[in-house]
Copies of this chain bind each other. A is one copy, B any other.
């Protein structure tokens, strides 16, 4: 069995999803969001992202983590903010000994629904379906995190088949 943590870091909301694969079957272990108190300053909130993810990791002991890569942002300020959230989240992963894989957003969509430009709700629908969940109560950010976890498991399987 391999357990993967999918991540969607953000300064306000960080989505996460834990997916296990056993003999080619996916199963959902946990999905949720970390929402640090908006009234606290940014450094405190970064610490909450780190601690929140560390707790999720301690609960499920994933061996690997995955997230979308980012090359652009609205502006310099949002790039710095997003970078900070990613930094806190990635530090939590690697300090806990997890590997980290990054995927293009189009690659994630393609892996889930077959096309790279699929609308968000279609991706969310397929994520729930692939995990066998009929009425998912999870937030959009949690669904996005699950999507990249599933993408990573698909990629692992393909690498294995290709003998990589």
A28-58 Cβ-contact flags toward B at 8 Å (1 or 0): 0000000000000111101111110000000
Residue A105, interface by CB 8 Å: no
| Interface residue count on the A side (C-beta < 8 Å) | 34
Residues B76 and A72 in contact, CB atoms below 8 Å apart: yes
Interface positions, chain A 71-106, Cβ under 8 Å from B, are: 71-73, 76-77, 79-95, 100
A interface: dominant SS:
helix
One complex includes copies of this chain to the number of 2
Bound: A55/B103 CA distance, A: 32
26 contacts between A and B (CB under 8 A): A41-B100, A43-B94, A43-B100, A47-B91, A47-B93, A50-B50, A50-B91, A51-B95, A70-B80, A71-B77, A71-B80, A72-B76, A73-B76, A73-B79, A73-B80, A76-B76, A79-B80, A79-B83, A81-B83, A82-B83, A83-B84, A84-B87, A84-B90, A88-B90, A88-B91, A91-B92
